[in-house]
Amino acid sequence: MLYLDHAATTPVRPQVLEAMMPYLTRWFGNPSSHHTVGEAAAEALADARARVARVLGMRAGDIVFTSGGTEADNLAVKGIAVAAMLQRGARHVVTTPIEHEAVLESVEHLARVHGFEVTMIPVDGNARVDPDIVATALRDDTALVSVGYANNEVGTVQDVGATAAVTRTRGIPLHVDAVQAAGWLPLAAIGADALSLAGHKLGAPKGTGLLAVRGRIPLEPLLHGGGQERGRRSGTEDVAGAVGLATALELAESERQADAAAVAALRDAFVARVLAAVPSARLTGDPVHRLPASASFTFAGTNGEAVLLELERRGVVSSSGSACAAGSDEPSHVLLAMGVAPEVAQTAVRFTLPHGLREPLDAVADAVAASVAAVQSGM
């Protein structure tokens, strides 16, 4: 079985498990405890924080460990916006309709509970955001702009540097959801004031993540209690998880440039073969500005779920889009925002490739063609 759904989750890397193991066994202490076992845990937590900060080009004190990307997005969007509301009466946020549900639902919460106004920046047919349109949306009472670095469904990469230049001019914090970008794109010096990551996209365990937020940005915590994470995220820290995330992030960053170039070349060849073999296939997302490991298609006149079943019969595991919207059979909100018709959006299939891939995907492309043909012949 060939697993090509790495945007959903990845296996834990052996080096990550090895790095975590001492803090699950011998040095299992609570890092807030004032004894030898607790102090060893605290030292490991501080080391993990510093290592993450180095990769991100931020200060160790900017790193808040979380339970994953969803919590990190919630903390960024709600925490920064509510703090701005409390400090200066700001009640306006700017985002796009193609963001992950963790961002969109957080924005909806701000509107419903706190009376925020929301401006949704439209995207073009390739899911790209125009920074000039972002600039026109900014107001004196804008609390936050939140834009994803790379889209989880179609792989489109945004020009976050240009967006950051716009927000910086107005003194408005920019949150960047970099969950899908980590390991494939540069993370340091991109201009973000806050940045979200999830460990399980990088070869760390599920339940690990972080929000990097610059110390000058006021942040209202979501979780209250013992004041851990400098008062920004209470609760006993997952030391082993933090060590695992730091290890995975360092490994991914060290391999990033070589890996991205090699995987992108294999991805391009795969896309070309699918488009040549399947007349109804259409690549979704930006053909140039996209993640190296992402290939997403629609197959008009089919059913995406049926194509997935046929692919799995042929030994290929992929997906119809985001795995994060539990139980949803609605057309992708990302594709709809790009202008794709609902009936076509429901034919979407996404392939997301692993780090370290070096073998051609010709057999997978042929399996796609056979699967689409099988579905079409049965309809």
* Residues marked as catalytic: 324
Strand, coil or helix: 82: helix
Distance CA(328)–CA(307), nearest Å, equals: 17
Closest CA to 31 of 16, 14, 49, 17: 49
For the record, the structure tokens of 360 come out as 């051609």
Neighbour tally for 224: CB within 10 Å: 10
